[in-house]
Amino acid sequence: MEKEEVKQKIYALVEKSMGKKKLKSSDIQKTVSAEAGISRDEVKDALKDLIDDGKLIYTYFGGSFVEIPPKE
Amino acid sequence: MALPQRRTDIGPPHYKDFLPPVMLKNYGDWKHHEILNPGLMVHVANSGDKVWSIRVATPRLLSTDTIREFADLAEKYCGGYLRWTTRNNVEFLVSEEKNIEPLWKELVEKNHMMGGIGNRISNIVHTQGWIHCHSAATDASGIVKALMDDLADYFTTRETPNKVKLAVACCTNMCGAVHCSDIAIVAIHRKIPKIDHDKVKNMCEVPSTIASCPTGAISPDPARKSIKVNDEKCMYCGNCFTVCPPMDIADPEFDGVAIVAGGKVSNLRSNPKFSKLVIPYIKNNPPRWPEVTEAVRLILDAYIAGAKKHERVGEWIERIGWEKFFKVTDLPFTFQHIDDFTIARETFRTAATFKW
Amino acid sequence: MPRKYETPLLDELEKGPFPSFVTEIKKAAARNDMAADELGQLEKSYRERRGYWKHGGIVGVRGYGGGVIGRYSSLPEEFPSVANFHTIRINSVSGFFYTSKILKEMCDLWDKYGSGLTNMHGSTGDLILLGTSTENLEPIFAEFSSRGWDLGGSGSALRTPSCCIGPARCEWSNIDTLDINYNLTQEWQDEMHRPAFPYKFKFKTAGCAVDCIASIARADCSIIGTWKGTIAVNQDEVATYAKNGMNIKEEIVDMCPSGCMSYDGKELKINDEDCIRCMHCIAKMTKALKATGEKGATILIGSKAPFVIGSTLSWVIIPFIKMEPPYDEFKDLIRKMWEFWDEHGKNRERIGELIIRKGMREFLEFIGVEPQPQQIKEPRRDPFFFWTEADLQK
């Protein structure tokens, strides 16, 4: 699977769970790798790109989560 | 001015770039060491080389001014080499014997306090407190300062039967090894958190807030789309506040500190042990917490009077028994001392042998 | 000019012989707005007996999920310069060694971009830069990283590993604590900077059972140096200790926890087979006694502060493992442990808590370690235990 496609899947997953459940990096890795049938390292790599580009960010609320940055 | 190019995942610099040449040369090849005075020790290598360490107290919180002063002294007398200890002391690493005396003299002139090596009280491991922490129930630095002023002689000169490691934690999260110290102070709350229900909706995740509670005191409050706290179960630990900030648990009137004693981390002689509760509550009394320094003095004096040479506080208490500890210190024994948390039954006396 | 506050309560803490943190804050406050407002807010805390900091949120440097701890004053109008006042964790050097040159360079940068206040060091062992604004985070990271420094860990990630001074200056170290610490830190940069664990994970490496880094109380993985072999005795040095006033029977022999020593006034004998390597005799008679033979480490897992189920000390998982670069056997073992934790751990559940919840058997089988009596104090007391189908076939 193309990395771009993995990135889209990750973003969609985070978007869908916003306001319902905060996702940890490992939740994303587990869910997307299972759904797309790819390795966790591939998901991890795509997630790293999304974070480096600022499309997603890490947040901390007593634990570390991955979320969409707030619009300011 | 343009910023330099950032780099990621490079990790810390290599330690070998920071070791004085004598330590690099004799790395892993040390023969023995000797404590020359409470603030000075010498390590001797198999090659015959020596390195002297002068230990200086710091308050842990340091301004860049003071760090520069330390750096200047290291440059003048130690080829620029110095280190910090895990208990917030600075060690000047002297390679040339002739530099010891002038460095010591200059440290004295600049009002620094040397000591902490050997069987005495070293610096106090502590946490952030009101200076910078969201969950602090007291100010760690203030208590440390008051305690160390009171116990200064035990850092610079006087001996104790063995090392006495003190620690202060500003809440029950206990950053630092407060739970295994000879004598430690841990700040506690005594009232349940006050919930700002409007904010809970946006800021908190209900399942993780419920899971954060060690006693199962938190449950959903569907009517308010919030949570509620069962005041009969809550032990005021404050873990929920860290997960869910709108559960404010700070309470100026009822917050304060507990004192625990008898812990150790080393395996020397007896196994590592936890500190146990000796005083359940002392009111916060800033700026100098006199009741806290008095209580620590009381425990320390009893230990010095009763312990055999090389016994740590916990070893002394275990030898004489906790019932005798409460007798010799005359500290009141209360319901709070009897465990009703996760390991209660391990702590009950299952023998008919005890002292009157 | 920074704002000036009356601080009658904090002034009391400038009195007395021990160095004063108030004096430190005041030094920085004389020239730095943030330090000045920190001082003002702290005086208010002393007056009102409560803290005024808020935590959490979304601050950090791009790409990283840790190393910056979001901190906000809850009184931003009263103390505007600390409205946001975040902590930066700089990954310290193994053994907390510095040179004057590097310290001065750091001080210059920190005065330029932050409060001028530090903690040397935080409880986990980071060099703490105590307080700066959100907009200064990226510049600070660029300045420090371009000079060879990186951020430490925070959040649900590997935290900055730390170690005792080890072979750099100590004659007791059985392992190269500084190298192990450096090597593990470099190996797991991603685990440190991009939080993907259920919760925090700490390594602490001690060269011997004296455990000057408190690894057994403060690390999810405690690496404690030890040996398989004898304690070599230099009888001449023993005689010198006796001559200098040491009561060898009372102070050494009688205090040996395994009763493996004897002394007849001339010769100190050790029954090495019964020695449990507690270090008491070696620590008290360092010139006379030396551990010899095969060196390695005991790996213990699980210590932590009281949240949530009560404090734990680490317990033995691997009684003995060689610790030589590149530490592959050790690293493989840790990766298996993390896999177990990743699979079963809940949010904010430390690995030790998980092992207690799931049972040692499931953990040991997963990581491929055999049950050994060294892992426990005593066998179970009660007759309730599991039998798997495979057990029944044995």
Q: Domain check: are C73 and C138 in the same one? A: yes
The size of the A-C interface in CB pairs under 8 A is 62
Contact residues, chain B, for C103 at CB < 8 Å: 67-68, 70-71
Nearest by CB to B67, from C118, C186, C310: name it. C118
ipTM of the shown complex:
0.97
Q: Which of B9, B199, B201, B205 to mutate to test the interface with A (most CBs of A within 10 A)?
A: B205
Please tell me chain C's helix, strand, coil percentages from 3-state DSSP, rounded to the nearest 5.
40, 20, 45
Q: C65, A62: Cβ pair inside 8 Å? A: no
User: Which residues of chain C are at the A interface, by a Cβ-Cβ cutoff of 8 Å?
Assistant: 56-58, 60, 62-66, 70, 154-157, 194-199, 342, 347-348
Please check whether residue A22 touches B, CB under 8 A. Answer: yes
Q: A51, C155: Cβ pair inside 8 Å? A: no
Query: Which among C96, C111, C146 is the end of a domain?
Result: C146
Chain C: list its partners (3+ Cβ pairs within 8 Å): A, B
Q: Domain check: are C204 and C328 in the same one? A: yes
Q: Domain check: are C15 and C95 in the same one? A: yes
Q: Domain check: are C19 and C138 in the same one? A: yes
Please check whether residue A61 touches B, CB under 8 A. Answer: yes
Contact residues, chain A, for B173 at CB < 8 Å: none
What does the pLDDT look like over C317-370, one tens digit per residue? 999 999 999 999 999 999 999 999 999 999 999 999 999 999 999 999 999 999
Residue of B nearest to C92 (CA): B12
> Is residue A72 predicted with pLDDT exceeding 80?
no
Q: Domain check: are C350 and C364 in the same one? A: yes
Residue A72 located in a structural domain: no
Strands (E), B154-232: 166-169, 183-188, 194-195, 218-221, 226-229
Q: Domain check: are C195 and C343 in the same one? A: yes
Chain B: list its partners (3+ Cβ pairs within 8 Å): A, C
Q: In this predicted structure, what is the pLDDT of residue B203?
A: 85
Q: Taking a C-beta distance cutoff of 8 angstroms, is the pair B178, C125 a contact?
A: no
Percent of residues, chain B, with pLDDT higher than 90: 93
Residue C2 located in a structural domain: no
What does the pLDDT look like over C208-231, one tens digit per residue? 999 999 999 999 999 999 999 999
CATH classification at residue A42: 1.10.10.10
pTM of the prediction?
Answer: 0.97
Residue A44 located in a structural domain: yes
Residue C318 located in a structural domain: yes
Please check whether residue A17 touches C, CB under 8 A. Answer: no
Q: Domain check: are C109 and C43 in the same one? A: yes
Domain count, chain A: 1
Q: Domain check: are C209 and C350 in the same one? A: yes
Q: In this predicted structure, what is the pLDDT of residue C290?
A: 97
> Is residue C57 predicted with pLDDT exceeding 80?
no
Please check whether residue A63 touches B, CB under 8 A. Answer: yes
What does the pLDDT look like over B202-258, one tens digit per residue? 888 888 899 999 999 999 999 988 999 999 999 999 999 988 999 999 999 999 999
Residue of B nearest to C284 (CA): B310
Query: Which among C119, C146, C173 is the end of a domain?
Result: C146
Residue of A nearest to B134 (CA): A62
Contact residues, chain B, for A21 at CB < 8 Å: 205
> Is residue B2 predicted with pLDDT exceeding 90?
no
Q: Domain check: are C104 and C56 in the same one? A: yes
Q: Domain check: are C259 and C325 in the same one? A: no
**Which segments of chain B does DSSP mark as H helices, in order?**
21-25, 64-77, 100-109, 140-150, 152-156, 197-203, 206-211, 239-243, 290-306, 313-320, 322-329, 344-347
Q: Taking a C-beta distance cutoff of 8 angstroms, is the pair B258, B183 a contact?
A: no
Residue C22 host element (H or E): helix C21-29
Domain count, chain C: 3
Q: Which domain holds residue C242?
A: 231-291
Percent of residues, chain A, with pLDDT higher than 90: 81
Strands (E), chain C: 53-55, 68-69, 71-73, 86-90, 97-99, 117-120, 127-132, 162-163, 203-206, 221-228, 231-233, 261-263, 268-270, 289-291, 294-301, 315-321
Residue C152 located in a structural domain: no
CATH classification at residue C74: 3.30.70.2500
Q: Domain check: are C213 and C75 in the same one? A: no
Residue B54 host element (H or E): strand B50-57
Q: In this predicted structure, what is the pLDDT of residue B178?
A: 83
Average pLDDT in chain B: 96
Give the C-alpha separation, A37 to C365, whole Å.
27
Q: Taking a C-beta distance cutoff of 8 angstroms, is the pair B278, B300 a contact?
A: no
CATH classification at residue C306: 3.30.413.10
Which residue, chain included where needed, has tokens 């907390």? C96
Q: Which domain holds residue A38?
A: 3-67
Q: In this predicted structure, what is the pLDDT of residue B1?
A: 65
> Is residue B65 predicted with pLDDT exceeding 80?
yes
